[in-house]
């Protein structure tokens, strides 16, 4: 009986180990242009008190025309440095383009198990290692009228030696109080705060690459974050 019990215990441990690794994300390049990725919507809270302030926090979610966050979510990259002006083409009347580079820190991501990268076994979570915006403002008579933004970031999955790299374009839609059907504003501690002011817009032209992580990039364990999306 003791021997049988030991064998059964070993089988159970083997099954648990197998299930724990089931459904690893599939390597590949996934694009919105061919329908593999949903486009999205974003908000950036003015947790720092105004546009371009340290502490402002990004929240992006997929949008299928009806619901937010059915395929992917990016939460909590926080502006960690004062944005740096890259170029300024304004003329004497104050009309033209101004480009800024903004560096963020922290943040997590979530991907649905139903995407082309998954096999339906489990949703995926991970940690952002790098996040940056290149934002181009249109000025008229020295007043910013609108902007477009290019975002690029990378990170690694929880529980797998897999990494992610994403580039996306975005455009502003509005600013002020929280609107309906856009991701809620987040504080710098990643807590929702609908009393905050901020800005929001659309995410488009999304390209995501999943690949084997370079040596030394350890998988993280964000079990609490994962539980929020189950």
Within a domain: 5: no
Q: How many domains does the chain have?
A: 1
The number of helices, as runs of H, and strands, as runs of E, in the chain is 2, 11
Q: 4-9 long-range CB contacts below 8 Å, 24 or more apart?
A: none
Within a domain: 88: yes
Give pTM, 2 decimals. Answer: 0.82
Q: How far apart are CA 194 and CA 55, in angstroms?
A: 16
Residue 169 CA: distances (Å) to CA of 138, 161, 206 = 16, 27, 7
Within a domain: 67: yes
Q: How far apart are CA 204 and CA 148, in angstroms?
A: 11
Query: Residue 23 pLDDT more than 90?
Result: no
Within a domain: 14: no
Tell me the residue range of the domain where 163 lies. 26-214+221-228
Q: How far apart are CA 164 and CA 178, in angstroms?
A: 30
Pairing of the two strands 198-212 and 143-157: unpaired
Within a domain: 151: yes
The residues near 170 (Cβ < 8 Å, ≥ 6 apart) are 42, 148, 149, 150, 151, 201, 202, 203, 204
pLDDT per residue over 172-202, tens digit each? 999 999 899 999 999 999 999 999 999 999 9
pLDDT per residue over 79-121, tens digit each? 999 999 999 999 999 999 999 999 999 999 999 999 999 999 9
Within a domain: 199: yes
Within a domain: 131: yes
Within a domain: 4: no
pLDDT value at position 17? 45
């Amino acid at each position: 009986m003791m021997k049988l019990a030991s064998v059964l215990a070993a089988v159970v441990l083997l099954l648990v180990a197998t299930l724990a690794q089931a459904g690893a994300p599939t390597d590949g390049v996934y694009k919105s242009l061919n329908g593999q990725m949903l486009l999205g919507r974003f908000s950036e809270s003015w947790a720092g008190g105004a546009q371009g302030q340290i502490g402002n926090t990004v929240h992006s979610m997929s949008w299928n025309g009806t619901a937010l966050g059915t395929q992917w979510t990016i939460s909590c990259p926080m502006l960690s440095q004062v944005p740096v002006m890259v170029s300024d083409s304004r003329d004497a009347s104050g009309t033209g383009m101004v480009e800024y580079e903004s560096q963020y820190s922290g943040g997590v991501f979530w991907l649905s198990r139903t995407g082309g990268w998954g096999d339906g076994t489990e949703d995926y979570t991970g940690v952002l290692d790098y996040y940056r915006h290149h934002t181009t403002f249109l000025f008229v008579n020295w007043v910013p009228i609108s902007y477009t933004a290019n975002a690029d970031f990378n990170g690694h999955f929880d529980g797998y030696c897999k990494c992610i790299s994403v580039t996306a374009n975005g455009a502003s839609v509005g600013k002020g109080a929280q609107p309906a059907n856009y991701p809620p504003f987040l504080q710098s501690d990643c807590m929702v705060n609908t009393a905050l002011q901020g800005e929001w817009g659309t995410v488009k032209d999304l390209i995501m690459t999943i690949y084997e992580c370079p040596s030394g990039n350890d998988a993280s364990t964000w079990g609490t974050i994962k539980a929020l999306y189950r």
